[in-house]
Amino acid sequence: MNGGANSREPMAQTLSRKTQPASQELRPPDLQIHWLGRMEFGRALALQGEIVAKKREDTSRPDELLLLEHEPVYTIGRTPDRSSLSAPGRIRDGELGSTHLPHPVFSINRGGQATYHGPGQLMGYPIIDLRRCGQDLHKYLRWLEQLLIDLLARYDIAAQRRESLTGVWVENRKIASIGVGVRHWITMHGFALNVCGDLSPFDHIVPCGINNVAITSMEKETKKSFTVSSVARAVEKLALDSIVSLRVAPETQVMNA
């Protein structure tokens, strides 16, 4: 598998560090980052829910970022339109649903259409209190995108945004998907970055509801080998460095409370 020797340990290695304030005025809360290895999707979903509930009860708890891989799974957001689960040519016209798919499907409380998660893909689940960030969901989405664009630049991959399409792209090829959920201004879900491995499960769906989209990975773009755990370590450093840009000054937090 691609996640390193510890990737099957459920709560294996912790990458946790604390942010240091860039200035005395900002004094950002801690960001704790955890590498969880490979984890079944349902378990990771439950873990996110537990952390969100604890943050609701105790607003002083630090924000967290969970980094992990999943066993193969499809997910779809909160939408009545489930046509993205049915790739053209894969099933008969008029058929919808998930019985034709080779892996389980989870309907979850994020935005967006169907996507695939599996080995070789780095999942990032930031659990962040947006009340510390001006209650600005748009800014948060752009922060996630920029985090991935900056990460990929470190590997000489020129990634970018595309207008009106959430996610990160290399030219017209999608390399990372973003889908978030927010409960009481606390985020869950997050990003999926294709690092290496098999991309063929995307062929069974309409990824993110975009017809004829090309899916790519770091491995495919560079013809080099990567492990998910090594890329996770690079994400950790960038997230700790960039979280200050998402925060707002304490007096602004009071005004928005």
- Count Cα neighbours of 159 within 13 Å in the Cβ-side half-sphere: 28
Q: Which of 44, 76, 199, 208 is catalytic?
A: 208
The secondary structure element, H or E, covering residue 183 is strand 173-183
Any residues with CB less than 8 A from the CB of 22 and at least 6 apart, and which?
28, 244
- For 29, which DSSP code? P
Q: How far apart are CA 147 and CA 197, in angstroms?
A: 22
Residue 97 half-sphere exposure, CB side, CA atoms within 13 Å? 7
Judge contact between 75 and 105, C-beta under 8 A.
yes
What is the DSSP track for 201-229?
Answer: GGGGS-GGG-TTPEE--HHHHHS----HH
Structure tokens at 169: 């792209």
Cα–Cα distance, 145 to 129 (Å, whole number): 18
The Cα–Cα gap between 75 and 90 comes to 18
Residue 94 carries which side chain, given as an amino acid letter? G
Whether the CB-CB separation of 177 and 145 falls below 8 Å is answered with no
Task: Name which of 162, 155, 169, 159 is nearest 214 in CA terms.
Answer: 169
Active site residue 133: no
Catalytic residue list:
208
